[in-house]
Amino acid sequence: MNLGHTIKKLRRARGISQQELADASSLSMTYVSLLECNKKEPSIAALRAICRELEIPVAIVFFLSLEADDVQEHKRAVFEQLAPAMNAYLKTVFID
């Protein structure tokens, strides 16, 4: 799961800086930076605050963060078939 990369992509898609996201979420910029570099995992409270500011549901951030290794091996082929279309659809609905 790559939450940091997803948060970074969503933040950039919204056109806001790390500092702006940190301020709006009542977090430090250092913390946001560490999250985006996957050096820290966000608490649920922090993730909710970030998602509120990015105007995207927490569940969608989790889904967009999924990687093939996160899925059980016997379900991986289906995930790899569905994920590109699902990700594209979710980005259209929640990001664009």
Per-residue burial over 74-95, b if 16 or more Cβ lie within 10 Å, else e, is eeeeeeeeebeeeeeebbeebe
Residue 96 has pLDDT above 80, yes or no: no
Place of tokens 């082929």: 77
pLDDT for position 40: 95
Read off the tokens for 56.
């995207």
Task: List the CATH number of the domain containing 85.
Answer: 1.10.260.40
Whole domain around residue 37: which residue ranges?
A: 3-94
Place of tokens 């990369």: 5
Average pLDDT over residues 29-46: 96
Indicate yes or no: pTM above 0.75.
yes
Q: For the chain, how many structural domains are there in total?
A: 1
Euclidean distance between CA atoms 92 and 51, whole angstroms:
17
| Packed helices 18-25 and 29-36: angle between N→C axes, nearest 10 degrees | 120
